[in-house]
């Protein structure tokens, strides 16, 4: 229901939405590149360990936290493309029979998304501050260490972006009700 084709082409989109789309697209590019970096890091570790007896330090820590970063950088873009998982059987049937009621139900679902995404951002934000102030690290002293706060910051920022994406979809749903 939140598929882009229902929301008009880029030319018809208002400026704030184009800006939001730009940010989500940028986050998506970073996350995509990040996946490829993870792939290369694991390869370097495997080859280094076997061929040169020198594994790459910190690969498990990096991989473990990277997935959190990748998911939250991508999640808004995924939602924008209608790829976030939902059961749209009832919604689809309703939209065909009673388009306005269907649009109203969709709007409620998207608003629930706004609320929950903001709730996640609000929950995690204090963790970002704490981890930054305390210098919380992942990894082993004397071997490999990296700060935890940037990953948590991505969770917060990604959740805010997701809330924006839900909001955009809710507005389009509202327009379909009014139509």
Site for other proteins, residues 132 to 161, rule: CB under 8 A: 134-143, 145, 151-152, 155
Interface with other proteins (CB under 8 A), residue total 76
SS3 6: helix
Find the part of the chain contacting other proteins (CB under 8 A) among 4-12, 13-21, 81-89. 81-89
* Minimum distance, C-beta of residue 134 to other proteins, in the bound complex (Å): 6
Torsion of CA 75, 177, 90, 17, to 10 degrees: -10
Element (DSSP H or E) covering residue 62: helix 59-80
Are 58 and 139 contacting, i.e. CB atoms less than 8 angstroms apart?
Answer: yes
* Minimum distance, C-beta of residue 4 to other proteins, in the bound complex (Å): 12
Are 107 and 114 contacting, i.e. CB atoms less than 8 angstroms apart?
Answer: no
Among 84, 171, 174, 177, binds other proteins (CB under 8 A): 84
* Minimum distance, C-beta of residue 18 to other proteins, in the bound complex (Å): 19
Among 5, 9, 12, 50, binds other proteins (CB under 8 A): 50
Q: How far is 58 from 109, CA to CA, in rounded Å? A: 41
The verdict on 107 binding other proteins (CB under 8 A) reads no
The verdict on 53 binding other proteins (CB under 8 A) reads yes
Report phi then psi at 137, rounded to 5: -120, 155
């Amino acid at each position: 229901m939140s598929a882009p084709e229902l929301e008009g082409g880029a030319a018809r989109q208002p400026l704030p939405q184009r800006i939001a789309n730009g940010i989500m697209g940028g986050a998506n590019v970073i996350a995509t590149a990040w996946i490829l970096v993870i792939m290369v890091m694991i390869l370097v570790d495997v080859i280094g360990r076997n061929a040169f007896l020198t594994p790459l330090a910190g690969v498990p820590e990096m991989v473990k936290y990277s997935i959190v970063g990748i998911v939250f950088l991508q999640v808004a873009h995924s939602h924008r493309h209608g790829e976030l998982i939902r059961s749209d059987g009832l919604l689809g049937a309703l939209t065909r029979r009673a388009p306005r009621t269907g649009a109203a139900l969709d709007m409620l679902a998207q608003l629930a998304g706004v609320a929950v995404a903001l709730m996640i951002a609000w929950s995690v934000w204090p963790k970002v501050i704490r981890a930054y102030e305390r210098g919380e690290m992942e990894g082993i002293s004397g071997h490999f260490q990296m700060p935890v706060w940037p990953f948590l910051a991505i969770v917060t920022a990604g959740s805010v972006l997701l809330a924006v994406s839900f909001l955009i979809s809710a507005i389009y749903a509202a327009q379909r009700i009014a139509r």
